[in-house]
């Protein structure tokens, strides 16, 4: 995502909804010059660096382990940001939002990145009725339960939705993208979780608003 790849619908000949037809963020010189249908063309090592070159302040926080600053991968993913926060677990959304909110400066454009962990396996949010270590979606496990997965991720989505409202309001007139990097298999074809090439893993939400434009939901 940091080099401009967002989800899309391959069969739609429509910019932004189909990134092959026109990306939301296009890195200049990356593979091909673009079609002129991009929302924003950037120059730099990635979109974080590119936006900073345009005068944006880059702040971000990530809940999943990929962003752990104690790892080389985490350092690599976050090094372009002016500030980055890793809460240490996947169920600290209120802390993440508080951290981000306190760093918003209305006098300067900001690129804010938020990676949410509650909707990721094992589907847990602070205060949930189940334990954070109780995972109903484990590859090759004999005790997985698709209905439990559905119930818990739905509950996590409702929790996240309520938590995000104030932050989304703060960016009401800004370009906003809400999406996921993968879905999960819940027993389809005998498969569970993600990291595999399957239709269910490729199904993700994409919700975006460009500046003061209308909000669009792509399924």
The enclosing domain of 115 has a CATH number of 3.40.720.10
Q: State the pairing for strand pair 206-209/215-218.
A: antiparallel
Same domain, residue pair 104 and 202? yes
Number of compact structural domains in the chain: 2
Residue 82 pairs in a beta bridge with none
Question: Quick check: 219 pLDDT over 80?
Answer: no
- % of the chain with per-residue pLDDT over 90: 85
Average pLDDT over residues 65-83: 97
pTM for the model? 0.93
* pLDDT value for 33: 67
Looking at the fold, whether 23 and 80 belong to one and the same domain comes out as: no
When comparing pLDDT for 217 and 173, which is higher?
Answer: 173
**Domain span holding position 37:** 1-45
Co-location of 50 and 1 in the same domain: no
Q: Are residues 112 and 81 part of one domain?
A: yes
Shared domain check, 57 and 38: no
Q: Are residues 83 and 36 in the same domain?
A: no
Per the document, the length of the chain is: 219
The per-residue DSSP string of 166-184 comes to: HHHHHTTTS-EEEE-S---
Yes or no: say if 6 and 176 are a contact pair by the CB < 8 Å rule: no
Same domain flag for 93 and 168: yes
What average pLDDT does the segment 194-211 reach? 94
pLDDT in tens, 78-93: 999 999 999 999 999 9
Query: Are 137 and 119 part of one and the same domain?
Result: yes
Mean pLDDT of all residues in 42-70: 96
96-145: pLDDT as tens digits: 999 999 999 888 899 999 999 999 999 999 999 999 999 999 999 999 99
Average pLDDT over residues 49-71: 96
Q: Are residues 87 and 141 in the same domain?
A: yes
The confidence score (pLDDT) of residue 107 equals 84
Do 157 and 124 lie in one domain? The reply is: yes
In whole angstroms, give the CA distance from residue 72 to residue 157. Answer: 30
141 and 165 in a single domain? The answer is yes
């Amino acid at each position: 995502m940091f080099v401009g790849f967002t989800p899309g619908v391959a069969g739609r000949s429509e910019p932004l909804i189909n990134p092959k037809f026109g990306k939301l963020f296009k890195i200049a010189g990356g593979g091909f010059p673009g079609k002129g249908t991009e929302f924003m063309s950037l120059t730099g090592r990635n979109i974080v660096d590119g936006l900073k070159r345009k005068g944006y302040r880059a702040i971000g926080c990530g809940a999943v382990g990929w962003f752990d600053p104690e790892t080389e991968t985490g350092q690599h993913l976050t090094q372009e940001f002016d500030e980055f926060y890793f809460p240490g677990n996947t169920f600290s959304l209120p802390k993440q939002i508080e951290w981000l909110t306190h760093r918003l400066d209305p006098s300067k454009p900001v690129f804010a990145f938020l990676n949410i962990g509650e909707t990721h396996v094992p589907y847990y949010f602070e205060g949930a009725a189940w334990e954070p270590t109780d995972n109903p979606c484990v590859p090759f496990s004999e005790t997985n339960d698709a209905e439990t997965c559905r119930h818990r991720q739905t509950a996590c989505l409702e929790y996240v939705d309520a938590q995000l409202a104030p932050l989304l309001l703060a960016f009401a007139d800004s370009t906003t993208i809400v999406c996921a990097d993968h879905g999960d298999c819940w027993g389809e074809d005998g498969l569970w979780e993600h990291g595999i090439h399957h239709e269910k893993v490729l199904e993700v939400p994409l919700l975006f608003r460009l500046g003061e434009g209308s909000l669009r939901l792509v399924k």
